[in-house]
Amino acid sequence: SEQLFVEMADRMAADGWRDAGYEFVCIDDCWMAPTRDGQGRLQADPKRFPSGIRRLADYVHSKGLKLGIYSDVGKKTCAGFPGSYNHYDLDAQTFASWGVDLLKFDGCNSDSLDLLAEGYKRMSLALNRTGRSIVYSCEWPFYLRPVQQPNYTEIKQYCNHWRNFYDVYDSWSSIKSILDWTALHQDTIVKIAGPGGWNDPDMALVIGNFGLSRDQSVTQMAMWAIMAAPLFMSNDLRHISPEAKRLLQNREVIAINQDPLGKQGYQLFKDKKFQLWERPLSDLAYAVAVLNQQEIGGPENFTFSLTLLGHGLACNPACSIRQVLPASRDWGVYSWLSSLSVEVNPTGTVLLTV
């Protein structure tokens, strides 16, 4: 309901979220009335959004925030509401006239892969024709993947970020499966990411809900930063714990995620217990994550040579190392041939900058 989004916008502005860099309040599926209006335009559900989307957008903007909305490339949305098929220009103009700043464009109920691709391209061009700056969030490769390998060069021409894998759930198994999928496909997807176009490991940071332990929450935050993933929270800001709030608003992690070089990180090493990931940052720095995959026992040490990092160049001839998560502290200066020993909790991650 509009009341829910008003309350979230209030919390975003009052509780430091906006100041930490979170700027979009996004509406997902089910906001619409079951039918279009007499002019063929989408309309908000009159009971749940009695003031309409334009009024809600004005309110969100008054808080220094932006409004995101949802539609679908097919005849119906995933939940069965009117889709944008054959209405791409009209819907883009409608969203722009309402003051919308982001469109999540789903891929349900498209009759063929050709129509899917055509719809994603047409909506991209239609959004640009409105003259309003609207972030374009696509699900295009996710719906292609079961049948064919996505052409990411083409997708980046049309979309600002794109979904590759299944819905994220509020569970450790879901976070694990997303990381496993990303590592398995990193040779295809890492090179395409950069300013203007990003891989989206589904939209949601589920930190602050119920399914993740403290260590697992640290892992999601650290790994989404390593993956240069858009940071969208899916949680209730009215009831979030101080600990989850501190983690989600951690300026150092957000700075890694938003690093201007815009390169996505990748997995360097994996054995039965540990994963080692790195992400190139601006100013010849690197973000490094050590993830302990064990789900039982206590903290364990992972020792590795610094020559592994940055194709051997990250610490040549020396480097300073700082721990960002689970708590921030300086580790000092290391020489190129040093080894680093990192103690990591089960299902936890230690995030470093080098």
Looking at residue 298, its pLDDT comes to: 97
Tell me, yes or no, if 106 is annotated catalytic.
Answer: yes
- Given the residues 19, 37, 111, 167, the one annotated as active site: 167
Quickly state the pLDDT bin for 274 (edges 50, 70, 90): very high
* pLDDT at residue 166 is higher than 90: no
Looking at residue 167, its pLDDT comes to: 87
Token pair for residue 235? 């949680």
Cα distance between residue 96 and residue 25, in whole Å: 16
pLDDT in tens, 101-136: 999 999 999 999 999 999 999 999 999 999 999 999
- Given the residues 72, 91, 101, 106, the one annotated as active site: 106
Cα distance between residue 170 and residue 154, in whole Å: 32
* pLDDT over 70, % of the chain: 100
pLDDT in tens, 213-243: 999 999 999 999 999 999 999 999 999 999 9
* pLDDT at residue 149 is higher than 80: yes
* pLDDT at residue 165 is higher than 90: no
For the chain, what are the domain ranges?
Answer: 2-258, 266-353
Looking at residue 202, its pLDDT comes to: 79
Looking at residue 155, its pLDDT comes to: 97
**Mean pLDDT score of the chain:** 97
Looking at residue 126, its pLDDT comes to: 98
CATH architecture of the domain with range 266-353: Sandwich (2.60)
pLDDT in tens, 305-316: 999 999 999 999
Tell me, yes or no, if 111 is annotated catalytic.
Answer: no
Looking at residue 216, its pLDDT comes to: 98
> What residues are paired with 334 via a beta bridge?
319
* pLDDT over 90, % of the chain: 96
Quickly state the pLDDT bin for 290 (edges 50, 70, 90): very high
Cα distance between residue 226 and residue 351, in whole Å: 9
Give me the CATH topology for the region 2-258.
TIM Barrel (3.20.20)
Q: What is the mean pLDDT of residues 24-49?
A: 97
Cα distance between residue 207 and residue 165, in whole Å: 19
* pLDDT at residue 203 is higher than 90: no
Cα distance between residue 125 and residue 109, in whole Å: 21
Quickly state the pLDDT bin for 146 (edges 50, 70, 90): confident
pLDDT in tens, 38-88: 999 999 999 999 999 999 999 999 999 999 999 999 999 999 999 999 999
Q: Return the HEC string of the chain.
A: CHHHHHHHHHHHHHCCHHHHCCCEEECCCCCECCCCCCCCCCCECCCCCCCHHHHHHHHHHHCCCEEEEEEECCCECCCCCECCCCCHHHHHHHHHHHCCCEEEEECCCCCCHHHHHHHHHHHHHHHHHCCCCCEEEECHHHHHCCCCCCCHHHHHHHCCEEECCCCCCCCHHHHHHHHHHHHHCHHHHHHHCECCEEEECCCEECCCCCCCCHHHHHHHHHHHHHCCCCCEECCCCCCCCHHHHHHHCCHHHHHHHCCCCCCCCEEEEECCCEEEEEEECCCCCEEEEEEECCCCCCCEEEEEEHHHHHHHCCCCCEEEEEEEECCCEEEEEEECCCEEEEEECCCCEEEEEC
Q: Answer whether 0.85 is exceeded by the pTM.
A: yes
Looking at residue 85, its pLDDT comes to: 97
- Note whether 2-258 and 266-353 share their fold: no
